[in-house]
Structure 1
Amino acid sequence: MKMHLTIAVIAATAILLSCHQKQNEKVAMKEIVLDELQSNASSGLVYKDEEVQREREFKEPEQQKPSLPLQKTPSPVPVDWNKQIIKNAALQMRVKALQSATAAIQEAIRSSGGYIASASEIRLSDRLKSEMVIRVPREKFEELLNRLSGYADSVTQKSITSEDVTGEYIDTKARIQVKEKTRDQYFEFLKRAKSIEEVLKVQREITGLQEDIEAAAGRINYIQHQSAFSSIHLLFYQDIPVTTSPNISPGFGMEILNSVKTGWTIIQSLVIMLVSIWPIWLIGTGVWFIFRRRKLKLATQTK
């Protein structure tokens, strides 16, 4: 009887130790996955210190049936009514001196806090032409455009366009905040997962949300940069006077010399033409030789 009791106690102890070891392995596995997800998420966005601390202090939840996170209606997102307007201008003008105008334009761009995105210069038969794409802070756009027009001898073309992207900017920011809240719900659900399959499924959902958040954040940064700097497409040129030589009529002696040259040129052309038809001359000579020989033969027979 004592032997059976001892065996039962040993078996129960072994079972308890095995269950405890499995529970520790499950907790360690979920902590590793949670830390990895938290690390990936923090590389794109910064969480609040309280949330990070709460996620890292993960403990084994109570034994209960896991359930998918409820899709709650997100609370209204605060609207940022800061206008995001992309401005562009095209300016074409004629200047008196291209080099001095280029130096003045470059100085105006530097003093306005802008920069030259691209530039090219070309020389044509009747003009010198330079072309620039200028990026300037939005608040200096009108001022710089007026300064550039002041360097012109005459403005041949000027146009201004603007694109309001405030709606897209606000919509993208709202989508980011909604996806962040959904991602946080999945982090909460990860605490209640009870199997590796559930952990991996939640991990895939969090990874997809994180990719969408990072793509939307990149779009936000692009809109902010485009609206913060306006573009000016500048083309300016300098006319080059075309000089023509005076029409001087040649004298009598020059005309005779030109006539001799013309006659000699004609003779050369005729000689070249006669030489070029040498096959005709060869055939004609052969035909003449045969005809003459036959004629002589007939004359001999007649005598």
Structure 2
Amino acid sequence: MKFISALLFLFFLACGGPTGDSGNFDIAESKSADYEESEFDDVVEQSLVRSEVISERVEIQEQKIIKTANLVFETQNPEETHKKILQLAQQHKGIVQNDNSGKGYNRIFRNVIIRVPTESFQKFIDGVSEGVDYFDQRDISRQDVTEEFVDLEARLKAKRELEKRYLELLSQAKNVKEMLEIERELSTIREEIEARQGRLKYLESRVSMSTISIEFYKLTSETGITQSYGQKMKNALKGGWDGISVFFLGLLYLWPLFLLIGIGILILRRYLKRRKRNHNK
């Protein structure tokens, strides 16, 4: 692989790498054979990344911002509030990512997660805020990922350029061993390209579509210590009556047993009386 690394290094210099006088070139050429594969690829990639980052920073003028919001508030009409949120999502071309509801100790609640285009982020929040007296929680965050975005794009372009140069080397390979080594390096580079593409798509999705988490709730009537205790007393009385009913119903199920016991007692009494008469005679 040293031959391939040296050849790729010379190819990189010929295709736009830094140039110098012939003495410096000889030194670089003699040292290139001592590079390990990973070290050499890093040198080439870093050189490509530096040039790409400079050009990307010039091209990208708009900041890449991930916007998120978390809203929690009370409402007197959960159904109307839910309907209003869905209408706002449709109006601003948003999507419902999650929608669930439940009941707690003293309230009913609903959680809705909406994703809307970033340009409609503030308008959507303003629409939800209409009619809300106060928010239990209102968190709005903005994360600047411009630097990561630029770095990923630059590294992705560098990896693609590196892949292209390895493909050109593959066409110049002299034997099977060199072909296998180059293909192994190509496989590693392509895995890294896929990983960076995945991260870049994720960031693009988060930047283009903002995430808004909304929780609204309504307090139920059974609140407070007095009402809760009264409800417990009511439940206790009802439970006691139910217990008595179950007890008597259980006795009815046992009537055959009681009948047999009664017959047994009568037979025993007659037997004892007869025995007593015989004893007196």
Q: Is contact 1:183–1:206 with CA below 8 Å preserved after alignment? A: yes
Aligned counterpart for 2:125 among listed residues 125, 140, 145: 145
Worse overlay, 174-183 or 73-82: 73-82
| CA displacement 1:79-123 (0-9 Å, x = unmatched) | 133322111111111112111111111111111111121122122
Distance 1:239 1:184 in 2: 64
Alignment of 1:164-179 (within 5 A): 164-179=144-159
Are 1:189 and 2:169 an aligned pair?
A: yes
Cα shift at 1:188 = 1.8
Secondary structure (helix, strand or coil) at the match of 2:76 reads coil
Structure 2 counterpart of 1:122: 102
Cα shift at 1:125 = 4.5
Structure 2 counterpart of 1:160: 140
Are 1:81 and 2:56 an aligned pair?
A: no
Structure 2 counterpart of 1:15: none
Give the unaligned 5+ runs of structure 2: 18-47, 231-281
Structure 2 counterpart of 1:208: 188
Structure 1 counterpart of 2:8: 69
Distance 1:235 1:209 in 2: 45
Give the unaligned 5+ runs of structure 1: 1-64, 248-303
Structure 2 counterpart of 1:96: 76
Cα shift at 1:170 = 0.5
Structure 2 counterpart of 1:266: none
| CA displacement 1:156-184 (0-9 Å, x = unmatched) | 22111111111111101101111111222
Q: 1:203 to 1:125 in 2, by over 3 A?
A: closer
User: Taking every aligned residue pair, what percent have the same amino acid on both sides?
Assistant: 27
Structure 2 counterpart of 1:23: none
Secondary structure (helix, strand or coil) at the match of 2:51 reads coil
Secondary structure (helix, strand or coil) at the match of 1:236 reads strand
| CA displacement 1:31-69 (0-9 Å, x = unmatched) | xxxxxxxxxxxxxxxxxxxxxxxxxxxxxxxxxx97621
Distance 1:192 1:242 in 2: 82
Q: 1:125 to 1:193 in 2, by over 3 A?
A: closer
Distance 1:123 1:207 in 2: 53
Are 1:223 and 2:203 an aligned pair?
A: yes
Amino acid corresponding to residue 69 of structure 1 in structure 2: L
Secondary structure (helix, strand or coil) at the match of 1:206 reads helix
Amino acid corresponding to residue 226 of structure 1 in structure 2: R
Distance 1:101 1:181 in 2: 53
Q: 1:210 to 1:151 in 2, by over 3 A?
A: same
Distance 1:118 1:179 in 2: 37
Distance 2:165 2:71 in 1: 53
Higher helix share: 2
Q: 1:213 to 1:124 in 2, by over 3 A?
A: closer
Worse overlay, 72-81 or 203-212: 72-81
Q: What's the TM-score once normalised by structure 1's chain length? A: 0.55
Distance 2:210 2:70 in 1: 11
Distance 1:110 1:189 in 2: 53
Amino acid corresponding to residue 180 of structure 2 in structure 1: L
Amino acid corresponding to residue 99 of structure 1 in structure 2: E
Aligned counterpart for 2:215 among listed residues 235, 243, 248: 235
Amino acid corresponding to residue 83 of structure 1 in structure 2: Q
Cα shift at 1:127 = 2.3
Q: What's the TM-score once normalised by structure 2's chain length? A: 0.60
Cα shift at 1:218 = 1.0
Alignment of 1:255-294 (within 5 A): none
